[in-house]
Amino acid sequence: MEEELSQKFPSLRSFKGYNKNNPKEVIRLDTGPYGFHGLIGTEKGMVQIDPVNRSNTMFYVSYFTEDYISDTYKDTPLCGLDDREEASKQKHFGMQRFNHEPMELRQYRLALACTPSWAASRGTVENCLADMNTMVNRANLI
């Protein structure tokens, strides 16, 4: 997050780390008004840590990403594509990078925007940015 934006919203923080005994095990963490979120990359798969719900950040759940079943878009072709069969083949998407030779470090800047209705559904600018922070932080691990 840009420094100026980070100073304006100090409750939004994100971190990255790795296991110094096994650099293939990496983690991304973030905190904000919705609590703590984590994504851990291991050789066995990705593990997510999330609050049980947004209104109570006292309790958390952890699970392998591949075990999470969302019916949000069940039987809904996105962009006219039915990729259910292909998605099942890509169960460990993102894990292939752990088995390669070291890669060149590239740094990118990201400009992120949203629709007014998406922002309004979060209630505040800080909540909107918190969701964006979690999404980008997790995407950076994949």
- For residue range 113-125, what is the model confidence (pLDDT) as tens digits? 888 888 898 899 9
pLDDT at 69: 76
User: Average pLDDT in the 33-51 region?
Assistant: 92
User: Average pLDDT in the 22-35 region?
Assistant: 92
Give the pLDDT band of residue 93 (cuts 50, 70, 90).
very low
pLDDT in tens, 76-88: 655 655 656 655 5
Contacts of 106-112 with C-beta under 8 Å, sequence gap 24+, read: 110/136, 112/136
Q: What is the pTM of this model?
A: 0.70
User: Average pLDDT in the 48-67 region?
Assistant: 90
pLDDT at 132: 93
Q: How many C-beta neighbours within 10 Å does residue 132 have?
A: 20
* Residue in 114, 129, 111, 119 with CA at minimum distance from that of residue 9: 129
Give the pLDDT band of residue 23 (cuts 50, 70, 90).
confident
Distance CA 52, CA 37 (A): 11
pLDDT at 94: 47
